[in-house]
Structure formats: structure tokens, C-alpha cells
Amino acid sequence: MIKAIKGTKDILPGEVEKWQYVESAARDVFQLCGYNEIRTPIIEETSLFIRSIGDATDIVQKEMYSFSDKGERQISLRPEGTAPVLRAYLENGFDRRSGFSKFYYIGPMFRSEKPQAGRSRQFHQAGVEAIGSYSPYLDAEIILLFASILDKLGINGYLVKLNSVGCSKDRANYNHFLKNGIENRLNDLCEDCRSRFLRNPLRILDCKKESCKEIVSNLTSMPDLLCDECSKHFEKVKENLKILGNSLQVDGHLVRGLDYYTRTVFEVVHPLLGAQDAIGAGGRLDNLMAELGGAETGVVGFAMGIDRVIKIKESTVEQFPYKRSSGIFLVTIGEEAYKKGIEILWMLRRRGISSDIDYEERSLKAQMRAADKYGSRFSAILGEDELRQNVITLKDMQSGEQSQISMDSLAEKVAPKLSL
Ligand code: HAM
């Protein structure tokens, strides 16, 4: 039997409602804050990701699904959404037409990582990119926006870890400083970090191995070595995030697994997620547009992992997805009633009332069971007697109350109770 590929999964009815719930909360907040949806292709030229994410990163080195197509073009499934959005911004002339633009996206991303709890090969992100401003208020805005989505979803107990990795010069200085500080402990570093030491020492700060953590733990943190301008920017970002109170923690050793960041970087973590504790992450990427062939442009964004948000909700509320009661299930007895039932069904649907019917001409009992399974708020029974009198028997499935009403008044009668 053919099965879904390792690290991917089907999202089935009963489960998919969780996704709709989270996606719609994110969409509401994005739109509230003036972000417009963008949908970019799932496949892109591999070079887009090499140039943006960085060729020394784990994503580019080990985790991309890449292949050459029939025209010998190097193609990759998108491992993230930022580079495609910037590519689309440039390719569609937004830089000339509108300048400052705020985009959001929701969709699947692909990384060939070792599947484990909280880490899959196809996962889903909801993210934003605000393009065309260097303002520190915007760095704060996207972090507050992220927090608003979590608040809307009723998720508490998250922590926003914040840092600044400065400009390219600051990073070069800090890399130099790190190299000097670590040089005499090189042999105590893990194998990966020994290679990071040569290629990108900053990434040593991100190593999860205790021995490496201990080596860097006492080193001066990045914000202490920033240039004046980057330092001022960081102060403004922090000032505007005071509203987060204890949910904000400055972590001077926070670095990211993607090379494109400048200045602000952040990660939102939650203790219920275990080892893979990041619900989402982001920051500023002021060099990326030029890297992709555009003019130097201020960009700031984040991506939230939808799979992980769902995991938190599942472990904090008893009933998730919240049961949505559907409108009316029509129960008909006999052929004439069935024909009338179909007419009523489409009348209800045209009025925006969710409704369904049994297709198999089953017994009254079986149809009532189907009404229950459908999760309907009402059932409406239509038999020979009802047809003759032009009425319908309406049963409130919550209270069990039953009454006969005229067919014409059905929609008016139920709509208020379905909060339409
Ligand atoms: P990222 O940190 O690579 O950043 O991913 C963001 C979030 O996606 C993670 O915090 C996590 O919740 C989720 N995620 C990543 N990989 C997996 C996986 N294998 N399985 C499940 N969830 C995963 C980015 O992707 C940047 N593009 C964020 C950004 C946008 N920066 C600026 N703009």
C-alpha cells in the first residue's frame, strides 16, 4: 500500500478544523494590521534560497528538496517564505510602484529534516514581511502582531526572546571577537562547531550541546558590541516592546539558523513544545533585497509554525477544535417529501444556513442518527402529514424541544438561533 511520505501527513476532517481555526485567527490579525495576502509558488529556483538563506546554513547544506527539471533547471521546494516574497516584490515591480508594502502568507514549507516531535518535512507557516522601512517601530509592530495572534488564540505562557545581531560590520566584529574568545578551547567544541568556527562562528552560539554552550556562556553578548546606530535602533525596539512585560526577554546570545538577518532577531518559544520549542521566529533583513538584485531596502518579518501552535492548543484545551454546530439536517419520509426536502435544502443554503440531507432513503431512526452525527443544531422532519399541511416539524437538537411550524417560516425561525 502506498503511504504518505515520511515527515508528511494527511490533515483529515475532524483535524482540519483546528487548522482553519488557527489560520483564520492569523488572517484576521494580519488584515487588522494592514497586511495583504500574497501567494507565491511552492517551487522556486534553488539559487534563490542559496543567495538568501546562506550557503553555509543547515537548510541549504542539508535540508532542501532540490531536483533538476526536464530543462535542467535547478529547482527547490520552498523551505521558507521570506525569499519568495522578496523575489515576488522585485519581479512584480512593487519597488517602483508602491514602495512600502506589507504582505502576509499562509502555506506549506518543506525541509528534509529528521522527523521528530515538532519537526516534520512538510510543515506550515503563517508569516509576514513588511518591506520598505528601516523604522524600529515596525520591528516592534511585527512582534506585537505575533503576540496578538497568540492572544487571540488564547495561548498564554509564551516568551519572546529578543536580540540584535547588528549590521554586517557589527557581525564581522563579533565573529572576530568570538574567534579570539574561543580559540584556546577549540578542541572542546563539538565537530559541527569546529567547522562553524571556520565558516560562521556566530552559529556556535546556537549549538544545543552542553559543552559548547558552556564555552560561550560567559562571553560578552552581541548588544554590548553594537555600533551606535544599531544600538539606538535596538533601544527603540525594546522601548516599544515594554508592553509585553515579562513575556519579553533580551537574550544577547540569540542567533538564527538563517544568515539573512540584520539588527533585530527574535524567537517566540513555549515550554509546552519540548525540545523544538519555537512557535515562530523572525527579524530584520535589510541586506536581503540587494542580495536578490534590488536596491537596499529595510525589511522585517516573521513566520509562525502552525503545526506547533496547534500542538500547544491541543495540550491546553480539552476540546479542540471547538465543536462548530451545523445548521439544519433535513429528515424526509417518502419520495414526495424528499423532493420537497431538496427544494427546502437549497432555499436554506441560498440564505446562508448550513444544511444537509440524507441521500439513501433510510429509516426515520437512521436519518435522526445521521442528524446527530452531522452535529446539527436542528433537525427538520418532513413526512406525508407535514406535506399535506404545508408545515415542518422542527426539533431543537440541544433542548430536545419539538414543534410544527409553517414551511415558509423555517429560515426566519432558525436563523437567529444560529447567530446569522
Ligand atoms: P524559521 O525559524 O526557520 O524562520 O521558521 C519559523 C518557524 O517555522 C519555526 O519557529 C517553527 O515554528 C516552524 N518550523 C520550522 N521548521 C519546522 C519543521 N521542520 N517542522 C515544523 N515546524 C517548523 C523562517 O522560516 C523565516 N523565514 C522567518 C522570517 C520571516 N524571518 C523574516 N521573515
Tens digit of each residue's pLDDT (9 = 90 or more) over 46-98? 999 999 998 878 899 899 999 999 999 999 999 999 999 999 999 999 999 88
* Ligand 1 binding pocket includes 125 (Cβ within 6 Å): yes
Among the residue ranges 3-7, 9-13, 75-79, 182-186, the one predicted with the least confidence is 182-186
Locate all alpha helices (DSSP H) within 241-334, ordered by sequence. 288-291, 306-316
- Which is the closest atom of ligand 1 to the Cα of 127? 30
Q: How confident is the model at residue 323 (pLDDT cuts 50, 70, 90)?
A: low
**Integer Cα distance of 134 and 170 in angstroms:** 17
Separation of CA 17 and ligand 1 centre (Å): 22
Task: Return the H-helix or E-strand segment holding 376.
Answer: strand 376-382
pLDDT in tens, 166-186: 999 999 999 999 999 999 999
User: Please, are residues 231 and 171 in contact by the beta-carbon 8 Å criterion?
Assistant: no
129 Cα: distance to centroid of ligand 1 (angstroms): 13
User: What pTM does this model have?
Assistant: 0.92
Residue whose CA lies nearest to ligand 1 atom number 15? 305
Q: Identify the CA nearest to 126 among candidates 52, 193, 30.
A: 30
Q: What are the cell numbers at 401?
A: 424541544
Average pLDDT over all residues of the chain: 94
| The pLDDT of residue 318 | 85
**Bridge pairing between strands 355-357 and 376-382:** unpaired
Contact 279, 313 (CB under 8 A): no
Is residue 178 within 8 A of residue 212, CB to CB? The reply is no
CB of 280 shorter than 6 A to ligand 1: yes
Pocket test for ligand 1, best of 19, 258, 304 (most atoms within 8 A of CB): 258
Is the per-residue pLDDT at 36 higher than 90?
A: yes
Q: Which residues contact 304 (CB under 8 A, 6 or more apart)?
A: 26, 125, 126, 127, 146, 149, 268, 279, 280
Helix (H, G, I), strand (E, B) or coil at 163: strand
Q: Using a 6 Å cutoff on CB, does residue 79 contact ligand 1? A: no
Question: Which of 197-206, 214-223, 323-332 has the weakest average pLDDT?
Answer: 323-332
How many angstroms separate the CA atoms of 138 and 176, rounded? 30
**For residue 81, which atom of ligand 1 is closest to its CA?**
27
What digits encode the pLDDT tens for the residues 272-318?
999 999 999 999 999 999 999 999 999 999 999 999 999 999 999 98
Q: Which three cell numbers stand for residue 415?
A: 436563523
Q: Which atom of ligand 1 is nearest to the CA of 267?
A: 10
User: For residues 35 and 216, what is the distance between their CA atoms, to the nearest angstrom?
Assistant: 39
State the distance from the centre of ligand 1 to the C-alpha of 306, rounded, in angstroms.
Answer: 10
CA distance 171 to 165: 6
- Name the residue with the closest Cα to ligand 1, atom 1: 281
Q: Is the pLDDT at 420 greater than 70, yes or no?
A: no
Helix axes 306-316, 16-32, angle to 10 degrees: 110
pLDDT of residue 208: 86
